[in-house]
Chains A and B, each alone.
Chain A
């Protein structure tokens, strides 16, 4: 699974592409792992930009749940942003909006993560 990433000071924006389903969920989990390892108190903040994701199955939701759990356990910040309407519905129906921090735009998520990250994001 393709996972683009961009750094804005202490914020890493990760952008998966395509469908996160039973066939690709483990690939996403593997691709996220090194970034999540640094998603901890005093290290990186992670924003998952889901603008390029058009479907998430239960297996994909589980990967997002595990990522959120790991970040929380490490004292890190993780949020999802720019969710497509169909995926947003899936998050709501599965009640994942109650367990995942979801923000409307990547900028909103970067701003929630860190002021220095936001300054870097605004500079482009």
Chain B
């Protein structure tokens, strides 16, 4: 199974800046100073294999959208943040007009998780079929009302694809889109839902926009069970722990520290930090990643957890 990240930023899409690009160019050229880069091939090899990953790419970017690719012809997605626009364009470019089927699992309906749908080109093309799953009663209303006046020039009725909504119940296992899927209610304003996807002995958890209260051991245990033995946990690590339990308490997000602790408890294999704080630049996110890896190392018992930080365009093979 392959997991593709089309949008990883929390709360609002963030474009990289000219100043950030300038810093990257300076860093890359500085790193290259001692290398003998006298051919385009050597430059390419240096960039691919030696350049600091934090310099090579940007964490981005687009708001939440993640694709689970198990090798079938249908597309399985989590959330419709602005990242889904890029996925839609990719689908149009690669399918050359062949109809496509999409299954979308929605964490919740806050703006950053639905804002990409009006720009998802496959939704305008007859023959495509889109099923949107979620646990909120207002899921369809939330998506419909962002189409048309006064928010958008195109009315929902102009969508050419067949779009249908399926309401799921949390804590119940479903066989959908080739996966065994279970949703879990999470603490977030208006509720959010995490999803555990299982297939061919692999398990991926998508758990974003989820605050974890540290004085509720029962909840901690419940999430550890939801994450149990997962191959990958995509986790909302927007804040530092200090922020998450002080000035940003009840804002509905979690921290890198709690992500590591839950994955350790659950014996999950890989923690992928997601829903990055929009005020963080690439250097800050890279620094948080380094600190989180160190935290995992110094608090590790008999189970190691791989730690990564999602960036737009990242692919993980499970």
Contacts and interface: CB of A to CB of B under 8 A. Distances in A.
A65 B245 contact: yes
Nearest to A91: B242
Given A55-B299, A58-B258, A95 B220 contact: no
| SS class, residues of chain A in contact with chain B | helix
B246 interface: yes
A120 B294 CA distance: 40
A61 interface: yes
Nearest to B258: A58
Interface in A60-112: 61-62, 65, 69, 86, 89-90, 92-96, 98-99
Contact of A59 (B214, B291, B292): B214
Given A22-B217, A86-B298, A95-B240, A62 B292 contact: no
Interface residues of B, number: 21
A88 B79 CA distance: 38
B152 interface: no
A65 B213 CA distance: 14
Contact of B292 (A58, A61, A93): A93
16 contacts: A22-B220, A57-B299, A58-B257, A58-B258, A59-B214, A59-B217, A61-B257, A62-B215, A69-B246, A86-B298, A89-B298, A90-B299, A94-B242, A94-B257, A94-B295, A96-B242
**A-B pairs with the 9 shortest C-beta distances?**
A95-B240, A94-B241, A95-B242, A62-B214, A93-B291, A59-B214, A93-B295, A94-B257, A96-B242
Interface of B: 214-215, 217, 220, 240-243, 245-246, 255-258, 261, 291-292, 294-295, 298-299
Given A58-B214, A65-B242, A92-B291, 5 more contacts: A55-B299, A61-B257, A90-B299, A94-B255, A95-B240
